[in-house]
Chains A and B, each alone.
Chain A
């Protein structure tokens, strides 16, 4: 039979009469949890930002025709030399079309797959930007601007103009910011582009594109698929690339393998394409958690220390309580509840401080060339972190209180009373 009222009342009196000690112990937890929340929200915010920098723009599966040598050289088809040892020097890649055969039916087929959020056609080609007598090499990609904005956050990387403007303008171009600077162009100007097989086409600049990767911004521009098909003189089923976005990124690898088999195309999944990126993210997360757990453990030891001291000071009280009929379990509960109260108060304060600090960081300006849409330091306010932080506060105070309270439970009142 446990009388919680009495136990909590004793715990409360102990805590309140030693308010300084209680405050110190609680502050230990508060700072531990507060810094955990701040650190983890800030670090994961930064992580997510860095990930998005690459991953948002990257399709989960990229399908295209790879230029590569034939796997079977003609000599191996010739039976007469079947028994001999053949060496073929200077193998050249096979001439194949860049275009994806039957691209539009493939897109339809992919769109029907329930894992697929969207499959977008693209036409990629090399062109020259012509400024007077100077020709600058570059890439021009034909896209469906609205769909690209929807699935690949194209809008985040347009610093002037919009995807709608590109969609609605015939012969419009979304120019890489690097090229625009080199050629001193502004929105509304015309730029002349020339495909490799000749001809000059004037295109109207409807906006600027800035990916944050300077090398890319110096060559890459976008236009409508129809426009680029016209420039290249191709039919409207001329598609060179298909970008697939999935609901679940984990499905990328199996699906890409299936597409390769089914359509005899090259399909690269996001993890293969950005393997080094995954590693970086994992390691950064690891560091975040290592630091946070260290903070929380330090706070836990603080509580352990203070409770241990408290129990030594309260030896007499423990002996009296036991002599007057409180069981060892009651005494243990008294000290456990003190630990848990410290953990609770410290934890809640820690959450508030963490929330305050992250809100503060969220307002600090953070301007960088690489990220046109980011204006303040990124914060990932995930409620899960608060739940974890609070649970850890309770868990660590529980453990820190458990050992000293176990000792209090075992104290023999006779030894204390007779020792006096």
Chain B
């Protein structure tokens, strides 16, 4: 099985207010089609790790490989490109652009990538929305839809460029159990049917237990 994401000897320090060793020699891999979750207590560094893996945080030591290519120490513009093309992101607080329509929100990363024509992008965005059963919301303003719907829209947006991996920072943390279940099922389906890799940080033990693999973290180290 090919490896999508690999972390080698990742170390991270917070320099303010006092020097603090957050992540201590992190090594792990995410394989293609794997649905992995990261669990741990608050402050154990799991979100910090996720943001390093997502290339948004570049202030760390160690090596990060995406699709077996080293992506450490590159230009910021290149990181933007990598996030755009290879990484889909889902946050705890939905994070849509509230002034744009649902469809525009989904289309935006693809427009930025500009590999397809406007019509193709619009078609793809509709497909993604349909797959998540929210096609009827396409023309609505993003600020006018419910929380569960927003999270599904965010997932559609994360999928639009057919990324190598989806990362989630407590994507169900802000949802009721019904919607959380719903989001989990979507992830599961993506993993099973499209062999998409997923790496989800979560507090929710029920959620984590249903994933393929749980990465337990404590005090900046992976313990299992």
Contact B80–A326 (Cβ < 8 Å) = yes
- Contact indicator per residue, chain B 75-117, by CB within 8 Å of chain A (1) or not (0): 0110011011100010111011101100010001101111000
State in angstroms the CA–CA spacing of A195 and B94 once bound together: 102
> Interface size class for chain A?
20 to 34
State in angstroms the CA–CA spacing of A413 and B83 once bound together: 13
Q: Is A168 an interface residue (CB 8 A)?
A: no
| CB contact list, A380-412 vs B, under 8 A | 412
Q: Is B57 an interface residue (CB 8 A)?
A: yes
Contact A414–B56 (Cβ < 8 Å) = yes
Q: Which of B56, B92, B112: most chain A CB closer than 10 A?
A: B112
Chain A residues with Cβ under 8 A from B95's Cβ?
316, 319-320, 323, 417
Q: Is B169 an interface residue (CB 8 A)?
A: yes
Chain A residues with Cβ under 8 A from B114's Cβ?
1, 3, 6
- Contact indicator per residue, chain B 106-140, by CB within 8 Å of chain A (1) or not (0): 00110111100000000000000000000000000
Contact A317–B113 (Cβ < 8 Å) = no
Contact B91–A417 (Cβ < 8 Å) = yes
Chain B residues with Cβ under 8 A from A316's Cβ?
95
State in angstroms the CA–CA spacing of A420 and B174 once bound together: 12
Contact A324–B92 (Cβ < 8 Å) = no
Stretch touching chain B among A92-100, A274-282, A327-335 = A327-335
* CB proximity of A55 to chain B, nearest CB, Å: 59
Contact A320–B80 (Cβ < 8 Å) = no
Given contacts A327-B77, A414-B51, contact A320 B96 (CB under 8 A): yes
Given contacts A3-B111, A323-B89, A324-B112, contact A417 B169 (CB under 8 A): yes
Q: Is A17 an interface residue (CB 8 A)?
A: yes
- Contact indicator per residue, chain A 285-323, by CB within 8 Å of chain B (1) or not (0): 000000000000000000000000000000011011111
Q: Is A197 an interface residue (CB 8 A)?
A: no
Q: A326's closest neighbor in chain B, by CB?
A: B112
Contact A324–B169 (Cβ < 8 Å) = no
Q: Is A5 an interface residue (CB 8 A)?
A: yes
Q: Is B191 an interface residue (CB 8 A)?
A: no
Task: Return the contact of A327 from the options B76, B89, B108, B113 (Cβ within 8 A).
Answer: B76
State in angstroms the CA–CA spacing of A316 and B80 once bound together: 17
Contact B80–A325 (Cβ < 8 Å) = yes
> How many A-B pairs with Cβ below 8 Å?
73
Q: Is B157 an interface residue (CB 8 A)?
A: yes
Contact B109–A324 (Cβ < 8 Å) = yes
Q: Is A14 an interface residue (CB 8 A)?
A: yes
Q: Is A56 an interface residue (CB 8 A)?
A: no
Chain B residues with Cβ under 8 A from A317's Cβ?
97
Chain A residues with Cβ under 8 A from B104's Cβ?
13
Chain B residues with Cβ under 8 A from A330's Cβ?
80, 112
Contact A324–B99 (Cβ < 8 Å) = no
* CB proximity of B94 to chain A, nearest CB, Å: 10
Q: B79's closest neighbor in chain A, by CB?
A: A327
Q: Which of A13, A322, A324: most chain B CB closer than 10 A?
A: A324
Contact B111–A324 (Cβ < 8 Å) = no
State in angstroms the CA–CA spacing of A413 and B91 once bound together: 12
State in angstroms the CA–CA spacing of A322 and B51 once bound together: 13
Q: A320's closest neighbor in chain B, by CB?
A: B95
Chain B residues with Cβ under 8 A from A109's Cβ?
none
Contact A6–B108 (Cβ < 8 Å) = yes
Q: Is B47 an interface residue (CB 8 A)?
A: yes
Chain B residues with Cβ under 8 A from A420's Cβ?
92-93
Chain B residues with Cβ under 8 A from A14's Cβ?
99
* CB proximity of A322 to chain B, nearest CB, Å: 7
Chain B residues with Cβ under 8 A from A150's Cβ?
none
State in angstroms the CA–CA spacing of A321 and B99 once bound together: 13
| CB contact list, B13-69 vs A, under 8 A | 47, 51, 54, 56-57
* CB proximity of B66 to chain A, nearest CB, Å: 14
Chain A residues with Cβ under 8 A from B91's Cβ?
323, 417
Task: Return the contact of A325 from the options B51, B85, B169 (Cβ within 8 A).
Answer: B85
State in angstroms the CA–CA spacing of A66 and B69 once bound together: 95
Between-chain CB contacts (< 8 Å), 17 pairs? A1-B114, A3-B114, A13-B100, A317-B97, A320-B96, A321-B97, A324-B83, A324-B89, A325-B80, A325-B85, A326-B84, A327-B76, A327-B81, A330-B80, A414-B51, A414-B56, A417-B169
Residues of chain A touching chain B, judged by Cβ–Cβ distance below 8 Å, are 1, 3, 5-6, 9-10, 13-14, 17, 316-317, 319-330, 412-414, 417-418, 420
Which 10 A-B pairs rank lowest in CB-CB distance, beginning with the nearest? A325-B84, A327-B80, A17-B99, A6-B111, A324-B109, A325-B83, A414-B51, A327-B77, A320-B95, A414-B56
List 5 extra interface pairs beyond A13-B99, A317-B97, A325-B85, CB under 8 A.
A14-B99, A322-B80, A324-B108, A324-B109, A325-B80
